[in-house]
Amino acid sequence: MQFHSFLKSLVFSGAALLDKHRPGWRSQINPNTVDVANAKKCPLGQLFGTSEEGYKRLGGDSRDFLINNGFAASSMGGKGYVENVKHLNALWWAFVVTPLAQKETVEA
């Protein structure tokens, strides 16, 4: 459960960046198609065309930026890549759909 909280903190960080640089971003994302394993379907891809274009617009300079802000997955935390993709996709879905997701993320 601790690792799930860590992933939530990454999504919260990414969402905070989007709040700062792209107000109203939630209404521009289709939560049912979010896929952090796909450069065009991840939150940045849906907003900016590709994850690479998105991280450049947000001031990022590497894949680490994507991972550290919940926009992409890795095999971190002893979990497999596919498992982390599923968890991050679910977290982004909840964050976009459920207004309370942001509050719960802060408290987790």
Report pLDDT digits (tens) over 32-77: 999 999 999 999 999 999 999 999 999 998 889 999 999 998 877 6
d(CA 75, CA 24): 31
The SS3 call for residue 58 is: coil
pLDDT, residue 2, reads 84
d(CA 108, CA 4): 9
pLDDT, residue 107, reads 42
What is each CA distance from 11 to 44, 67, 71, 108, in whole angstroms?
12, 10, 7, 12
Closest to 7 measured CA to CA, from 92, 103, 82, 100: 92
Q: 17-51 burial, b for 16+ CB within 10 Å, e for fewer?
A: bbeeebeebbeebebeebbbebbebbbbbbbbebb
Taking 60 as the threshold, does the pLDDT of residue 102 lie above it?
A: no
- Give the phi and the psi of residue 13 in degrees, each rounded to 5: -60, -45
